[in-house]
Structure 1
Amino acid sequence: MKLGPKAAAAALIVSAGLALTACGGAPSGTSATAKTASLTLGAVQEIRSWDPAQAHVGHYLQPYQAAYDSLILRQPDGKLSPMLATEWKYNEANTKLTVDLRTDVTFSDGAKFDAEAAKANLDHFKKANGPQMAQLTAVSDVKVVDADTIELNLTAADPSLEFYLSQAAGLMGSPKALGTEAIKTEPVGSGPYVMDKASTVKDSQSVFTARKDYWNKDIQKFEKVTFKTLVDPTARTNALVSGQVDATLLDPKTGKQAEGAKMNLVATEVDWQGLLLLDRDGTKNPALGNVKVRQAINYAFDRKTIVDQVLLGQGTPTSQPFGKASGAWTEELENYYSYDPAKAKALLKEAGYETGVVVEVPSVPGFETQLAVIKQQLSDVGITLNVGSAITNTFTSDIAAQKFTTMFFSLFQGEPWVAVNQIISTKALYNAFKNTTPELQAKIDAVQTSGKDAGKAAQEVNKYVVEQAWFAPMFRVNQMYYHNSKITVEPQVQQAVPSIYNYSPAK
């Protein structure tokens, strides 16, 4: 993807920043006035290390954006724009990404951002064993071409690499600080804000102030940004309603209280929830090896009733695991498995399981209500759902060890290649039994080599796993983000918590 000459790309950064300002509700050209305001956000999780190589995604990404710029900026609608990278382009085989960099950026400790600094960060990210280190799995090495150009050499095409460079893998820290103990507690980046150590309290709040020499004033809209750690949703609700925080993530139940207090809702569908029918070859549960049994499970669910009763209407029933923003979503698959108990029973009979099927799932904290409803609806068609002990902090290793043949879970609906490698490919954590067929693998290979058309190619993967009932998706869930009238907030596609750039003081 080439974004034009460097001079034009630099201009694009300015216009991107102005667009974000305008979309967020603050007038362009008034950042100096806007920065007199402060922003306090209710964070759902505490940052354990500020080393950029330890950055996570989802709810964790936003605080890192205060201190660290990324190579690529992801706009609210998901489009990628220049940030520290001014332009980037693949070779014909999509195995080498050449990235040109800004030349006017320094880190908060005075170190200069250049190609050597970018390489140091990418190398550190690959070696630091962070939670998102897989984002650079395809990158074999990073080469410095000149002072403001690097090359990322890939072992194979990775359609998600540009996306990753707008996420954890793209965060740039000072090369002087990388790998030190100090950066774990105090970030050192080139971002719009610097940590106020005196006001920051571990497990309570992280406070940042506007960096005076920041290179892009248009996305630096506040004089102070505070992240208050509030793990409990009730605590977040009370903090929002009482004015202790300006915005936070709630749920359908606590959202009612926020709405009663006249808070504003920003809702985005980020995750899908449903059953992962993991043992598709019937290795441990022979019944799941029969596609008709898996299809029967899908026909057993009254998805709309579940959404209305469990989510209070804050979601959309679906039969497909890919989200609308992924490019792999298709209208024909949305209601592929309608609620049809009679058909479910008929399929079980055809599969030789007229007398019933037993499915074991672990208990998932927070999803007790969903599991209770699912258990009842499966029972109505002759399928017994046994809910076992709760998953623990070892659940990823338990999944990899094939401890679970089925589980109810909530999963992110990301870019096509991200989703494929999360739930479908033989490398995916949530394909622990390594299920595949030559037909499916050919479709996966097409996604990998399709470049900009990866979303369209992934539609075929989506269709295959829906028809073969690899999953029993229930619904896409509204992530409910509330804010007060002091600020305006623009939602970020595929993120429950908006990027830090999406907030502005209200007019």
Structure 2
Amino acid sequence: MKLGPKAAAAALILSASLALTACGGGTPAGSGGGAAATALTLGTLRDVTSWDPAQAHVGHVLQPYQAVYDTLILREPDGKLSPMLATAWKYNTGNTKLTVDLRTDVTFSDGAKFDAEAAKANIDHFKKANGPQMAQLASVSDVSVVDADTIDINLSTPDPGLEYFLSQAAGLMGSPKALGTERIKTEPVGSGPYVMDKAATVKDSQTVFNARKDYWNKDLQKYQKLTFKILADLTARTNALVSGQVDATLLDPKTGKQAEGAKMKLAANEVDWQGLLLLDRDGAKNPALANVKVRQAINHAFDRKTILEQVMLGQGTPTSQPFGKGSGAWTQELENYYSYDPAKAKQLLKEAGFETGVTLEIPLVPNFETQISVVKQQLADVGIELKVGAALTNTFTADVAAQKFTTMYFSLFQGQPTVAIDQIVSTKALYNPFKSASPELDAKIAAVRNGGADAGKLAQEVNKYVVEQAWFAPLFRVNQMYYTNAKVNVTPQIEQAVPSIYNYSPAK
């Protein structure tokens, strides 16, 4: 994409206007001359562990970072990428250099100026900081400052997901004066629409932000006050929404019934897949998992449709593949690749030499207790014991990376091909901590990275490989049940369980 300065500015204005229209709120009161005189309170699942932008995560946890940090690229609700701190960007012929033009009218909340040096400092810091999403910039070799408002991002290999990553964790821009300091871990310093109210913020309870008076884009700043209430417990989130303590939160099909009874509005969005991540595929800690027939047996043990009906009231789609329909890697032939066949599961275990049984150990994932209970029973029916250990904590990403878990029951989003590959498949992926690989798979991944417009179709081969090799045991894609009260309009964000903060607006 390449826009001239005038076209870029017009596109940004049009983008913001369309975003407001899509949210259903029209122009909020006070826009143009200031933020709307309203407050928004969101119920979230967990607190931020560090406000250093290089430690940012994605999914549920990206929202709070968006309050204080702008990204280089803005991702619209429908997935379109639009200008934000970057006004334009363009690849060279070989797709190994991305030239990015930057805004010249932005400052950080500590007064530092946003410019090419600041953008370079952030990308360099992100690459060195060993954050949970460090794989997003694994293909970046270095960043060059071309002039005051232009950088070149140089790649060691083409990465079709880079522009997407620059709208996510890797694109968050913090003040260069604060990067690497102790202060930024507890007090974010960005150029975003809000600043933290430290006096009102309580760790693991609530984080409060106030609208930044000199924010450069008032159209994205729709509230005077933004509060995130940390409510890990599903029942607590439900009660908080129904009682008016929060304006919006993520529930599930069962608690959603209570919310609907209280006249809450539903925004359903099929985003994630749930199932088992069979991480130790080389048998480093659990030798049974090194045998593909054992992993295939695990897949055949599940009655996916029944599990979906029992635990999600049918809100989703049974599946055997980890790539979603919107990725281009999804194929119909893989949707029901593993049928419910306990007899076949037992036969595969026998052929693998594990007729006497297999033991899998997983951590407990809060809010997934019901799913894990059903999974445990169905595995037991074919001779596989599922041992459930201690609950995941805020250090779970570090624990995953440290190979603490050989198997997990988890929920993972289904993004575009290279994004999903670098989340769960490649040796750079957080959810491939044992670095499973093969020459055949490496070649398929390389084809995707160099595939350009054909990346989605080429990723079908990656999808087929990991399904046939049973790297995972997906059960279903689930509808994310996001509820709001009557005071809020919100547009779901494609491939996100919770909307970006820009997607909310006061209801008239």
Instruction: Identify the residue that residue 390 of structure 1 maps to in structure 2.
Output: 390
| Pair 5,237 (structure 1): closer, same or farther in 2 beyond 3 Å | same
Is the 1:34–1:505 Cα contact (8 Å) retained in structure 2?
A: no
Instruction: Identify the residue that residue 20 of structure 1 maps to in structure 2.
Output: 19
1:378 pairs with 2:379:
yes
Tell me by how many angstroms 1:45 deviates.
Answer: 1.8
Distance across 2 between alignment mates of 1:166 and 1:248: 23
Tell me by how many angstroms 1:411 deviates.
Answer: 2.5
Distance across 1 between alignment mates of 2:63 and 2:424: 25
CA RMSD of aligned residues (A): 2.6
| Pair 198,357 (structure 1): closer, same or farther in 2 beyond 3 Å | closer
| DSSP-derived class of the 2:277 partner | strand
Distance across 2 between alignment mates of 1:374 and 1:422: 24
| Pair 212,268 (structure 1): closer, same or farther in 2 beyond 3 Å | same
| DSSP-derived class of the 1:266 partner | strand
| DSSP-derived class of the 2:412 partner | strand
Instruction: Identify the residue that residue 8 of structure 1 maps to in structure 2.
Output: 7
Structure 2 residues not aligned, in runs of 5+: none
1:300 pairs with 2:301:
yes
Q: How does 1:58-207 map to 2 (within 5 A)?
A: 58-207=59-208
Tell me by how many angstroms 1:398 deviates.
Answer: 6.2
- 1:163-219 Cα deviation digits (max 9, x unpaired): 111111211122233333443333322222223344334443332232333222222
Instruction: Identify the residue that residue 501 of structure 1 maps to in structure 2.
Output: 502
Q: Which moved more, 1:311-320 or 1:183-192?
A: 183-192
| Pair 424,200 (structure 1): closer, same or farther in 2 beyond 3 Å | closer
Instruction: Identify the residue that residue 422 of structure 1 maps to in structure 2.
Output: 423
Distance across 1 between alignment mates of 2:244 and 2:482: 15
Tell me by how many angstroms 1:303 deviates.
Answer: 0.4
| DSSP-derived class of the 1:469 partner | coil
| DSSP-derived class of the 1:239 partner | helix
Is the 1:325–1:493 Cα contact (8 Å) retained in structure 2?
A: no
Question: What percent of counterpart residues are identical?
Answer: 73
- 1:444-481 Cα deviation digits (max 9, x unpaired): 11112123432222111001211232222111222221
1:440 pairs with 2:441:
yes
| Pair 29,209 (structure 1): closer, same or farther in 2 beyond 3 Å | closer
Tell me by how many angstroms 1:429 deviates.
Answer: 4.1
Structure 1 residues not aligned, in runs of 5+: none
| DSSP-derived class of the 1:125 partner | helix
Instruction: Identify the residue that residue 360 of structure 2 maps to in structure 1.
Output: 360
Tell me by how many angstroms 1:276 deviates.
Answer: 2.6
- 1:116-151 Cα deviation digits (max 9, x unpaired): 221122222223333333322222221110111001
Distance across 2 between alignment mates of 1:212 and 1:436: 50
Is the 1:490–1:503 Cα contact (8 Å) retained in structure 2?
A: yes
Is the 1:319–1:473 Cα contact (8 Å) retained in structure 2?
A: yes
Tell me by how many angstroms 1:238 deviates.
Answer: 1.8
Is the 1:361–1:408 Cα contact (8 Å) retained in structure 2?
A: no
Alignment: residue pair count = 504
| Pair 53,284 (structure 1): closer, same or farther in 2 beyond 3 Å | closer
Instruction: Identify the residue that residue 475 of structure 2 maps to in structure 1.
Output: 474
| Pair 384,77 (structure 1): closer, same or farther in 2 beyond 3 Å | same
| Pair 363,61 (structure 1): closer, same or farther in 2 beyond 3 Å | closer
Instruction: Identify the residue that residue 222 of structure 2 maps to in structure 1.
Output: 221
Tell me by how many angstroms 1:379 deviates.
Answer: 3.7
State the one-letter code of the partner of 2:454.
D
Instruction: Identify the residue that residue 48 of structure 2 maps to in structure 1.
Output: 47
Distance across 1 between alignment mates of 2:359 and 2:156: 40
Distance across 1 between alignment mates of 2:383 and 2:439: 31
| Pair 123,430 (structure 1): closer, same or farther in 2 beyond 3 Å | closer
Distance across 2 between alignment mates of 1:167 and 1:25: 24
Distance across 1 between alignment mates of 2:474 and 2:163: 28
| DSSP-derived class of the 2:454 partner | helix
Instruction: Identify the residue that residue 321 of structure 1 maps to in structure 2.
Output: 322
| Pair 450,212 (structure 1): closer, same or farther in 2 beyond 3 Å | same
Tell me by how many angstroms 1:289 deviates.
Answer: 4.4
Tell me by how many angstroms 1:400 deviates.
Answer: 5.6
| Pair 248,405 (structure 1): closer, same or farther in 2 beyond 3 Å | closer
TM-score, length-normalised on structure 2? Answer: 0.91
Is the 2:25–2:505 Cα contact (8 Å) retained in structure 1?
A: yes
Q: Which moved more, 1:434-443 or 1:389-398?
A: 389-398
State the one-letter code of the partner of 1:469.
A
State the one-letter code of the partner of 1:369.
T
Is the 1:364–1:409 Cα contact (8 Å) retained in structure 2?
A: no
Tell me by how many angstroms 1:344 deviates.
Answer: 3.7
Instruction: Identify the residue that residue 35 of structure 1 maps to in structure 2.
Output: 36
Instruction: Identify the residue that residue 410 of structure 2 maps to in structure 1.
Output: 409
| Pair 281,118 (structure 1): closer, same or farther in 2 beyond 3 Å | closer
Distance across 1 between alignment mates of 2:477 and 2:249: 20
| DSSP-derived class of the 1:175 partner | coil
Distance across 2 between alignment mates of 1:178 and 1:429: 24
Tell me by how many angstroms 1:49 deviates.
Answer: 3.1
Q: Which moved more, 1:390-399 or 1:319-328?
A: 390-399
| DSSP-derived class of the 1:200 partner | coil
- 1:81-130 Cα deviation digits (max 9, x unpaired): 11110111112222211100112222233332211221122222223333
| Pair 505,396 (structure 1): closer, same or farther in 2 beyond 3 Å | closer
| DSSP-derived class of the 2:114 partner | coil
